[in-house]
């Protein structure tokens, strides 16, 4: 079949396998252009099939020669579906990473479940011995409550008053207002349950109890802080509450790892980028386009791979760690420069819809959105007949 992008409400419902190969290959090529660094030997990544988790995996596998084990939740190709982009990213990462002569394994399982943690423990014992770094990069709209067997859903809502923000339809580039309602206490608690630090803590405790964490082990999770243009929806909303919980979890995990293994638990605030998870958040498509635009003009735009490479090379394993008063690694320091925030905010307020549609930042946002799902690459023949099931054999 010929595969064309199927997009509904900023969600891409399919993926182009050969475009996903190109997506992974490009990040690997970028990683190879960087200076190698001394890092962990064995890495467990929770959520390493796309976005920040995938870039972390590539940076560590190609920059530090690490072995990687990735847990992600993705759909394989079937008679009717192409398979998800993350599934193909995993597939081609393994293929392209063969040249490293290291171990790279994938488990496609629900990370929130106890059985998954048991399966991972078994796999580590069999193939890795112990783990030096755990990257927790999960973004999910729902999590099973294993005590009640119910699915708990997160909500992207405000916590103070209804907020009207703008968002962009990626297919038409039309901007339209969207009202974000105030969350109930239950909705806030549910969002914290899904996107807070509870499951990260469960992972670290399970691995610790199984004696699979090496001396000096590190673990890191990714938060987002952002500035005034996103605060009412993000940081002061339900997602921000979940991130506060994730950050508090780092403090208690840090104590445990420091005392027992001279290790550390870290939080890094990363910059806003286009990912499957972020385009769905109201206001983000506009904000990311504008911040990209400002960063491009100033020559300060980093790709997702460069961003994570710098995190591990300079700030996790190097001596250039930038932290704030809460000890969070501020990898987002460029995005957060006051001048850059001011210019992005002014662009958001003062640009007409017609002018916004053709900003270089908007063009880059749209291009990255398509490329996340394997579309829009020059070197891929999108006219070709593709049989995803056959390809996966
Ligand atoms: P993403 O959607 O690209 O990736 C999410 C990953 O989680 C995928 O690998 C997916 O398979 C996995 N996943 C989801 N549910 C799962 C489950 N039940 N079991 C196993 N795996 C599951 O998301 P992303 O934007 O890269 O987000 C990763 C982290 O980075 C999140 O904590 C997010 O808040 C944070 N972050 C993102 C941004 C941004 O702009 N995208 C900025 C700062 C921080």
pLDDT band with cut points at 50, 70 and 90 for residue 352 = very high
Query: How remote is the CA of residue 278 from the centroid of ligand 1, in Å?
Result: 9
pTM of the model: 0.98
What pLDDT, on the 0 to 100 scale, is given for residue 393?
Answer: 87
- Residue 79's pLDDT is 93
User: So what's the pLDDT on residue 53?
Assistant: 98
Q: Which residue has the tokens 């969600």?
A: 11
Interval 221-245 mean pLDDT: 94
Nearest protein Cα to ligand 1, atom 28: 137
Closest atom, ligand 1, to C-alpha of 224: 43
Identify the bridge partners of residue 182 per DSSP, sorted by sequence position.
158
Which of 23, 52, 87, 249 is the pocket-test mutation for ligand 1 (most atoms within 8 Å of CB)?
A: 52
Q: What is the pLDDT of residue 1?
A: 85
Residue bearing the CA closest to ligand 1, atom 40: 272
What would the pLDDT profile of 41-85 be if each residue is shown by its tens digit?
999 999 999 999 999 999 999 999 999 999 999 999 999 999 999
Which of ligand 1's atoms lies nearest the C-alpha of 243? 34
How many whole angstroms from 246 Cα to the centroid of ligand 1? 14
* CA 288–ligand 1 middle distance (angstroms): 17
Which residue in 60, 7, 23, 97 sits closest to 303, CA to CA? 23
pLDDT in the model for residue 166: 87
Q: Which residue has the higher pLDDT, 228 or 372?
A: 372
Q: What is the pLDDT of residues 251-310, one digit of tens each?
A: 999 999 999 999 999 999 999 999 887 887 888 999 999 999 999 999 999 999 999 999
Ligand 1 atom nearest residue 139's Cα: 5
Q: 52-62: per-residue pLDDT in tens? A: 999 999 999 99
6: pLDDT strictly greater than 90? yes
Query: In the prediction, which pLDDT does 5 show?
Result: 97
Give me ligand 1 centre to Cα 352, in Å.
Answer: 32
Task: Give the mutation target among 10, 51, 372 for probing the ligand 1 site: most ligand atoms within 8 A of CB.
Answer: 51
Looking at the DSSP assignment, which residues form a beta bridge with residue 348?
none
Instruction: Report residues whose beta carbon is within 6 angstroms of any ligand 1 atom.
Output: 47-53, 71-74, 86, 110-112, 137-140, 222-224, 270, 272-273, 275-278
Token digits of residue 8: 């509904």
Q: What is the mean pLDDT of residues 229-250?
A: 95
Active site residue 287: no
- Select which of 234, 287, 317, 370 is catalytic: 234
Q: Mean of the pLDDT values across residues 35-42?
A: 98
Strands (E), 47-180: 67-72, 104-108, 131-136, 142-145, 150-153, 163-168, 175-180
Query: For residues 305 and 57, what is the distance between their CA atoms, to the nearest angstrom?
Result: 10
Q: Specify the residue with its C-alpha closest to ligand 1, atom 14.
A: 140
Give me the pLDDT at residue 150, please: 97
**Ligand 1, atom 29: closest residue by C-alpha:** 137
Smallest CA separation from ligand 1 atom 5, residue? 139
Model pLDDT, residue 194: 98
Buried b (16+ CB within 10 A) or exposed e, 20-50: bbbbbbbbbebbeeeeebebbbbbbbbbbbb
- Per residue in 178-202, pLDDT (tens digit) is 899 999 999 999 999 999 999 999 9
Counting ligand 1 atoms within 8 A of each CB, the residue from 139, 156, 194, 368 with the most, and so the one to mutate, is 139
Atom of ligand 1 nearest to the CA of 50: 3
Q: Separation of 37 CA from ligand 1 center, angstroms?
A: 25
Write down the pLDDT at residue 228.
87
For the CA of 223, the closest atom of ligand 1 is 44
pLDDT value at position 196?
A: 98
Q: How many CA atoms lie within 13 A of 133 on its CB side?
A: 25
Which residues are CB-contacts of 380 (< 8 A; sequence separation ≥ 6)? 16, 18, 19, 22, 374
Distances (CA, A) of 121 to 69, 73, 136: 11, 17, 16
The least confident of 218-222, 246-250, 350-354 is 350-354
Tokens 């070709």 belong to 384
- What average pLDDT is seen over the chain? 96
**Residue 243 pLDDT more than 90?**
yes
At 281 the pLDDT is 86
């Amino acid at each position: 079949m010929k595969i064309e992008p199927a997009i509904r409400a900023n969600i891409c419902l399919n993926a182009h396998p050969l475009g996903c190969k190109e997506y992974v290959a490009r990040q690997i090529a970028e990683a190879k252009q960087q200076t190698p660094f001394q890092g962990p030997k064995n890495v467990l990544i929770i959520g390493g099939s796309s976005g920040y988790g995938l870039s972390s995996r590539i940076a560590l596998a190609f920059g530090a020669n690490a072995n990687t084990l990735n847990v992600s939740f993705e759909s394989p190709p079937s008679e009717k579906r192409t398979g998800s982009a993350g599934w193909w990213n995993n597939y081609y990462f393994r293929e392209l990473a063969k040249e490293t002569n290291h171990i790279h394994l994938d488990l496609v399982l629900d990370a929130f479940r106890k059985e998954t943690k048991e399966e991972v423990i078994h796999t580590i014992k069999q193939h890795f011995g112990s783990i030096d770094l755990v990257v927790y990069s999960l973004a999910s709209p729902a999590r099973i409550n294993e005590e009640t067997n119910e699915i708990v859903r997160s909500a992207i809502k405000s916590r103070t008053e209804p907020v009207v923000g703008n968002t962009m339809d990626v297919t038409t580039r039309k901007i339209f207002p969207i009202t974000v309602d105030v969350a109930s206490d239950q909705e806030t608690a549910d969002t914290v349950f899904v996107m807070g630090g509870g499951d990260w803590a469960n992972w670290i405790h399970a691995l610790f109890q199984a004696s699979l964490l090496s001396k000096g082990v590190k673990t890191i999770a990714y938060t987002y802080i952002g500035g005034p243009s996103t605060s009412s929806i993000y940081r002061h909303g339900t997602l921000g509450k979940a991130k506060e919980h994730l950050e508090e979890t780092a403090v208690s995990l840090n104590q445990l790892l420091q005392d027992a293994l001279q290790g550390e638990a870290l939080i890094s605030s990363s910059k806003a980028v286009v990912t499957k998870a972020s385009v769905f958040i109201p206001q983000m498509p506009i904000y990311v386009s504008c911040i990209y635009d400002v960063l491009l003009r100033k020559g300060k735009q980093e790709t997702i791979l460069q961003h994570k490479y710098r995190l591990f090379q300079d700030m996790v394993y190097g001596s250039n760690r930038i932290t704030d008063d809460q000890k969070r690694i501020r990898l987002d320091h460029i995005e957060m420069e006051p001048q850059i925030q001011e210019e992005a905010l002014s662009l958001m307020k003062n640009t007409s819809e017609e002018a916004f549609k053709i900003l270089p930042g908007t063009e880059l946002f749209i291009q990255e959105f398509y490329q996340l799902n394997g579309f829009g690459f020059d070197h891929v023949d999108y006219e070709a007949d593709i049989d995803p099931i056959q390809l996966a054999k």
